[in-house]
Structure 1
Amino acid sequence: MPPYPIILAHGIYPFHFLFPPFISKDNDKKDNFHYFRGIRSALVEAGFTAFHTRVSWGGRVDRRADELRDRILRITRGFQQWPRVHIIAHSMGGLDARWMIYKHRMAHRVASLTTIGTPHHGSPEAERRLKRFGFVVNLARWIGVEISGALDLTPPACEARNAALEGFESANGVMYRTFAGVQKIDDVFFVARRSYRFLKEREGDNDGLVSVRSAMWKEKYFMGIIDADHLNQIGWWDGGRAMGTTSRRIFEKRIREFYVSLAEGLE
């Protein structure tokens, strides 16, 4: 059992924000309507200390990294209660965590970072959508909705960030682990099938939004592929085959067991 708490970091659009607070609260015993559906409760039931975090909907990586640090400081009481943390991040949450560790020099505070479906090398799909609908970013900001974080998910933006982080991350003592999701198109959530086809042509196997190549980051960090699309990876069943089954009940059991196994591999 790791002596440090596990921090769960969500992706760019944490859709549970849209649900009524009384059914989607962070760090509540009932988490069936949370972004990480049933994940924290499974970790706690297995004996681990785990916390949700909340950062800006659709915000830029730099801002979200600051907010993630603030959340962790609050959880650890300024690292007085726990001197270090483990982070398990999904999608953009992994980019937030990497930048937080670098910007705030927190390598001595983060024992490990595990990313699932994180576009470390960016997503050509994000770039394609911005080229077609880039004006929506400014329009959304004008009406008070922040979605400009998508600018940080393009391949050029991610590769520039990777270059800036290279020297720091190569020897900072943090244990990095990465996972990628892969499914057949008929099993991918129907909303992501168009992007699946586009990514399949450009980068090969993917989870509907992020390719294996991008989620892998570096081969030395890569722990493997899971049978899950981008939504399945955080505990949400979308009707197809996932985690080796077409049964919702078995899927939920297996995806939660996957997260518990991640925690069991921490020190």
Structure 2
Amino acid sequence: MIKKILTTVLLVMVCNFILWQNILQLKNGRFWLVLVLSLLFYLAFSVLPERFSVRDLKYMTLRMKVLYGGCELLTAFGYGFMIELVFYVILLIVGNLPWRLLLANALVFLVLFLLLEMQGIFRLLLLSKQIKVGKKLMVMFFWWIPIFNIYIIRKVTRIARIECEVESHIAQMDAARAENQVCQTKYPILMVHGVFFRDWQYFNYWGRIPKELIKNGANVYYGKQESALAVKESAKELSAQIEQILEETGAPKLNIIAHSKGGLDSRYAISMYGMHEKVASLTTINTPHYGCKWADILLGKLPLSVVKKVAKTYNKMFKKLGDAHPDFIGAVEDLTEERALVFNQEVMDMPGVLYQSVMSKMNSPKSAGFPLSLTYRIINMLQKVENDGLVPITSAKWGEYLGDVVVSGRRGISHGDMIDLFRENIAGFEVRNFYVDLIKDLKSKGY
């Protein structure tokens, strides 16, 4: 903090060079020496502000260093501007300097400090992945409004600084566990996506998670089943993918990590298509093993014509994205509580396969945007049970239950947060480390 204060004070002094030159009556050699040193300091701070920080930059990527530098620029701008205001108030009260000198000095200071602010803003807008589009637009259009700009810039600077902290912490942990390859399990990892998404084209369903697992030694593959099919059809595609992976790797079995409906697809493949001999473990994430009440409502309360129209639109769109025969209604029907009851009677757990599950919960409707905020309320109203916006906690427990994923405050962890859908850093929950720990545990169990 002392270093930051001293740096900011020195920066303010440098930007008040006209005033100091007049007060100290610098001439000839001394004038040019001080001017050159002042310019060098200003340029050094402007280009490499992170170097003036007390923070260890060792584990930051170039993007993070530049972003962190943007935070330093904006912090210096904010505090420096306040110091300058106090300084000018004192000058006006006790000083007798010419107003032309004070005005010229103020204009030079303002230009130099606004250049720092603009550079800091550009760094945050271009490099931060955690600042939402809405906040970026607010900064772009309202950065010039006094008072409000301090509020919004302070807010986005905090977000960007936390982003740098989280990413450098992850990098530091990766460096510490690099030699151990903590995610190098005995069997390959198959990650199976849920309904209404695809996991291998255009957009990675699992966010930043696979890259982190691979970095720590995991051998990762994807389910590649279509986005929306009845469970038995998805399970058929999944079984073919399992066969292909084992043939490609030469491994006798694999471990499945499945999210949402992907857990039901996996259970069906294991029990009904003979994959029990080729799957060592199944870990389900927020899977509705006992169904979802909202699915019953969607199919039971809405007019059939509306359901069919939604299904037709969905199927048409995902055909264009590559699905051969998407089936919206078939997928949703298999998520109802009625179907879940029949499913659990027919699809029995197989000996020799480790079944385990985990579940998260939202703490309020504000934990997620629409439609999860709405379905969270519906589940609360109908069942009065904690949920992730789609699945009640009571529906997700299967096999060995590994516990609830929770955080304090109103944020909570939604259905989408568990797969890093929005690539968002959530206070109290680092999703990449969560999956690293999950795979580490499989490795320790001999899988």
The alpha-carbon deviation at position 135 of structure 1 amounts to 3.8
> In structure 1, which of residues 222, 225, 236 is the aligned counterpart of residue 404 of structure 2?
225
Which residue pairs with 2:261 in the alignment?
92
Q: Which amino acid aligns with 1:121?
A: Y
Q: CA offsets, 1:196-223, max 9 Å, x none?
A: 0111231500000001000113xx5211
Paired residues of 1:189 and 1:229 also in contact (CA < 8 A)? no
Corresponding residue SS for 1:87? strand
Residue 230 to residue 160, structure 1, CA distance change in 2 (3 Å):
same
Q: CA offsets, 1:140-167, max 9 Å, x none?
A: 565654202000000010111001124x
Paired residues of 2:191 and 2:258 also in contact (CA < 8 A)? yes
Corresponding residue SS for 2:297? helix
> In structure 1, which of residues 100, 107, 117 is the aligned counterpart of residue 276 of structure 2?
107
Which residue pairs with 2:434 in the alignment?
258
Residue 265 to residue 200, structure 1, CA distance change in 2 (3 Å):
same
Which residue pairs with 1:60 in the alignment?
230
Q: Which amino acid aligns with 1:151?
A: E
Which residue pairs with 2:387 in the alignment?
206
Residue 2 to residue 195, structure 1, CA distance change in 2 (3 Å):
same
Q: CA offsets, 1:70-106, max 9 Å, x none?
A: 111112217x711100000000000000000011122
Corresponding residue SS for 2:355? strand
> In structure 2, which of residues 239, 245, 267 is the aligned counterpart of residue 69 of structure 1?
239
Which residue pairs with 2:336 in the alignment?
154
TM-score where L is the length of structure 2: 0.50
Corresponding residue SS for 2:233? helix
Corresponding residue SS for 2:371? helix
Q: CA offsets, 1:153-188, max 9 Å, x none?
A: 00010111001124xx1x512101111111212212
Percent same amino acid at aligned positions? Answer: 31
Gaps of 5+ in 1: 25-32, 245-250
Which residue pairs with 2:187 in the alignment?
4
> In structure 2, which of residues 359, 363, 367 is the aligned counterpart of residue 184 of structure 1?
363
The alpha-carbon deviation at position 136 of structure 1 amounts to 4.5
What is the distance in 2 between the residues matched to 1:184 and 1:238? 19
Which residue pairs with 2:396 in the alignment?
215
Corresponding residue SS for 1:190? coil
Residue 174 to residue 203, structure 1, CA distance change in 2 (3 Å):
farther
Which residue pairs with 2:204 in the alignment?
34
Paired residues of 2:207 and 2:422 also in contact (CA < 8 A)? no
Gaps of 5+ in 2: 1-183, 317-326, 407-412
Paired residues of 1:121 and 1:215 also in contact (CA < 8 A)? yes
Residue 136 to residue 57, structure 1, CA distance change in 2 (3 Å):
farther
What is the distance in 1 between the residues matched to 2:373 and 2:311? 28
Residue 207 to residue 150, structure 1, CA distance change in 2 (3 Å):
same
Q: Which amino acid aligns with 1:41?
A: K
What is the distance in 2 between the residues matched to 1:98 and 1:257? 26
Q: CA offsets, 1:117-157, max 9 Å, x none?
A: 10000000111111233444544565654202000000010
Residue 243 to residue 97, structure 1, CA distance change in 2 (3 Å):
farther
Paired residues of 2:193 and 2:199 also in contact (CA < 8 A)? no
The alpha-carbon deviation at position 242 of structure 1 amounts to 3.9
Corresponding residue SS for 2:294? helix
Higher strand share: 1
Residue 83 to residue 118, structure 1, CA distance change in 2 (3 Å):
same
Number of matched pairs:
239
Residue 203 to residue 66, structure 1, CA distance change in 2 (3 Å):
farther
Higher relative contact order (CA closer than 8 Å, sequence separation 6+): 1
Which residue pairs with 2:354 in the alignment?
175
Corresponding residue SS for 1:160? helix
Q: Which amino acid aligns with 2:237?
A: E
Residue 205 to residue 140, structure 1, CA distance change in 2 (3 Å):
closer
Structure number with greater Rg is: 2
Paired residues of 2:254 and 2:280 also in contact (CA < 8 A)? yes
Which residue pairs with 1:248 in the alignment?
none
Higher helix share: 2
Corresponding residue SS for 1:158? helix
Paired residues of 1:179 and 1:226 also in contact (CA < 8 A)? yes
Q: Which amino acid aligns with 2:438?
A: L
What is the distance in 1 between the residues matched to 2:298 and 2:189? 34
What is the distance in 2 between the residues matched to 1:40 and 1:231? 16
Q: RMSD of the alignment, in Å?
A: 2.2
What is the distance in 2 between the residues matched to 1:158 and 1:203? 20
The alpha-carbon deviation at position 194 of structure 1 amounts to 1.4
